[in-house]
Structure 1
Amino acid sequence: MHLQDWEMLSTLYETENITQAAHQLFLTQPTLTSRMKKLETYYGIQIIMRKRRGIAFTPEGEQLAHHAQQMLKEQRKIEETLDNIKNQVTGTLRVGVSNFFASNKMPKLLQLFKQEYPDVECQVVTGWSSEMHRLLLNHDVHISFIKGNYPWKERKQLLYEEEICIASPWEFSWEQLPELPRIDYYTDDHMRMMVDNWWHHHYTQSPNITIHVNQVETCKEMVVHGLGYAVVANLVVRNNPELIVKPIINEDRELIKRQTWMYYPEDALQMNVVRAFVDFIQTIDVKAL
């Protein structure tokens, strides 16, 4: 197989959809299908099967897809090694970024970094912090920006802390909260657990959730427009002075805070591009961006 075949098999295996895979690979569907048939002829096996929705890999096809994924990792390693030999800050930096950090911090960070190192290419993957932790464990990224503490025995750097707070369009008392309309949003398990533990420690009844949205930014806009309150990190609403913001506290009368970390493995620092990026982050006040 060639590099293009590895990429095709890996993408198909991840998407389980010929249309999506063709789009990601910048191929037409007939071209992708034709290449798959050639691979099946070459190996003398059936690689994929059509389902009602999408495709499924045969057992033989799964083995081939796993091989393709491993070969892509090896290809990245040799490319990174060759870039590093040049003793220059060049090559590709792969970064995993939690959703809020991706939209509110990462664009400015990358802009400043690229000003210093214009020859670096950055590949950024975004998602929940738990997903970014998994990417790091699987060596799919060099660095991950993660909210919360996850199991990790190698290097990590605390970037900033945020107070968790109630953001409301109107003045309120703590006793009123169970009756007031609340806007909720999807978040990672760490944040959900902190908020749920705080709520159940202070209230016996469930919150009055009237709207549920996908993103915290959408949630904030609902609050700004007077549709209810929300429990968010204070950085989310720092540019909205019109809102009433009150931090929440735990049973020990301490502010409940959420930490954002930069995680990376020790051996990644052997790469010039990773070491340059880590050094760069250490000179920046990330919270102030």
Structure 2
Amino acid sequence: MEYRDWHILQTLFREQNITKTAEALYISQPALTKRLRQIEKDFGVQIVQRGSRGVQFTPQGEYLAKCADEMLLRLRNIKENVLNMGNEVNGTLRLGVSNYFARYKLPMILKRFKEAYPNIDYKVITGWSKDVYKSVYNQDVHVGFVRGNYNWTDKKLLLFEEAVCVVSREPIQIEDLPNLPRIDYETDPMLRALVDGWWTENFSQPPQIGMEVDKADTCSEMVASGLGYAILPRVVLSGKDDLYMIGLTSAAGDPIKRKTWMFYHEDALGLQMVKAFVQFMEQIDIEVPQ
């Protein structure tokens, strides 16, 4: 089978739909159907059945689709190892990056690294930290940047810690929070658990959620307009020094910090580009708002 055939099986198994798979692979549906028939002919089995709810994989097809992940990973590793045999540091560095880090920190990091290693290309995948963690674990990316205390047993580097703050347009008192409108936003489970844990330690009643938005950036803008208070990581508030901020503290009075980590597998250091990037990250100083 060709590389594209394994890619077709992997994508179709994920999408469970011919139309969506063809769109994802930028090919026509007839061309996709033709390749599927050829794969079935090569193996002498039926791979999928088409119905009103999309496609259903036969047991043989499901087995091949699961093998596709392994085969594509193997082929990618072979390509990377071949490139790694040269003297130049080159190749495509795959990074998994949490949404906030991708916006506020990654551009400057890659700019500086690109100046040192101009022959390296990048594939950057952004998402919630939990998804980035999974991508690093599954070796879909070489290096992952995650926020929160995840249980990672391989190589890691603590990049920085940041305060988590109650933020408002006007001065407020912590004890008044249960009676004030709060602006909430979608975030990853780690931060949600941290904030909820702090709340239950300090208050016996739930917060008054006056508004819900999809992103922390939107939330901070709503706060800046005086529509309520929010509990946000300090990095999101960069450039908004006119807002009133109170850092969260534990019951013992210690500041509550959110950590940002870089995760990677030790085996990945065998690739020159990964080793160079890790060494670069160990040496730079990432500025964090206080």
- TM-score with structure 1 length normalisation? 0.94
Q: Deviations over 1:81-118 (max 9, x none)?
A: 11111032101111111111112111222222222212
Q: Check whether the contact 2:6–2:72 (CA below 8 A) recurs between aligned residues.
A: yes
Distance change >3 Å, CA 29–CA 148, structure 1 → 2: same
* Equivalent in the alignment of 1:73: 73
Q: Check whether the contact 1:168–1:223 (CA below 8 A) recurs between aligned residues.
A: yes
CA–CA distance in 2 between the matches of 1:228 and 1:238? 19
Greater CA drift, 205-214 or 191-200: 205-214
* Equivalent in the alignment of 1:216: 216
* Equivalent in the alignment of 1:195: 195
Q: Deviations over 1:21-68 (max 9, x none)?
A: 222222122222222222223333332234545433222211111112
Q: Does 1:167 align with 2:153?
A: no
Number of aligned pairs? Answer: 289
Q: Secondary structure at the match of 2:27?
A: coil
Q: Secondary structure at the match of 1:166?
A: strand
CA–CA distance in 2 between the matches of 1:214 and 1:130? 17
* Equivalent in the alignment of 2:96: 96
Q: Check whether the contact 1:136–1:143 (CA below 8 A) recurs between aligned residues.
A: yes
Distance change >3 Å, CA 97–CA 246, structure 1 → 2: same
CA–CA distance in 2 between the matches of 1:226 and 1:52? 50
Q: Check whether the contact 1:130–1:188 (CA below 8 A) recurs between aligned residues.
A: yes
CA–CA distance in 2 between the matches of 1:201 and 1:253? 12
Displacement of 1:276 in angstroms is 0.7
Q: Check whether the contact 2:146–2:263 (CA below 8 A) recurs between aligned residues.
A: yes
Q: Does 1:231 align with 2:231?
A: yes
* Equivalent in the alignment of 1:36: 36
* Equivalent in the alignment of 1:282: 282
Sequence identity (%) = 44
Runs of 5+ in structure 2 lacking a partner?
none
* Equivalent in the alignment of 1:114: 114
Q: Check whether the contact 1:7–1:68 (CA below 8 A) recurs between aligned residues.
A: yes
* Equivalent in the alignment of 2:146: 146
Q: Secondary structure at the match of 1:93?
A: strand
Greater CA drift, 257-266 or 147-156: 147-156
* Equivalent in the alignment of 1:257: 257
Displacement of 1:162 in angstroms is 0.5
Distance change >3 Å, CA 177–CA 51, structure 1 → 2: farther
Which residue identity does 1:214 align to in structure 2? Answer: D
Which residue identity does 1:254 align to in structure 2? Answer: D
Distance change >3 Å, CA 223–CA 48, structure 1 → 2: farther
Q: CA RMSD in A?
A: 1.7
Greater CA drift, 168-177 or 154-163: 168-177
Distance change >3 Å, CA 264–CA 182, structure 1 → 2: same
CA–CA distance in 1 between the matches of 2:34 and 2:15? 18
Displacement of 1:2 in angstroms is 0.4
Give 1:20-31 correspondences, 5 Å limit. 20-31=20-31
Q: Secondary structure at the match of 2:39?
A: helix
Q: Secondary structure at the match of 2:283?
A: coil
Distance change >3 Å, CA 85–CA 217, structure 1 → 2: same
CA–CA distance in 2 between the matches of 1:286 and 1:124? 19
CA–CA distance in 1 between the matches of 2:57 and 2:134? 23
Q: Secondary structure at the match of 2:178?
A: helix
Q: Secondary structure at the match of 2:287?
A: helix
Q: Check whether the contact 2:97–2:132 (CA below 8 A) recurs between aligned residues.
A: yes
CA–CA distance in 2 between the matches of 1:282 and 1:66? 36
Q: Check whether the contact 1:49–1:58 (CA below 8 A) recurs between aligned residues.
A: yes
Greater CA drift, 143-152 or 32-41: 32-41
Which residue identity does 2:280 align to in structure 1? Answer: F
* Equivalent in the alignment of 2:7: 7
Distance change >3 Å, CA 52–CA 257, structure 1 → 2: farther
Q: Check whether the contact 1:87–1:272 (CA below 8 A) recurs between aligned residues.
A: no
- TM-score with structure 2 length normalisation? 0.94
Q: Deviations over 1:229-275 (max 9, x none)?
A: 11111111121122111111110101100000111111211110001
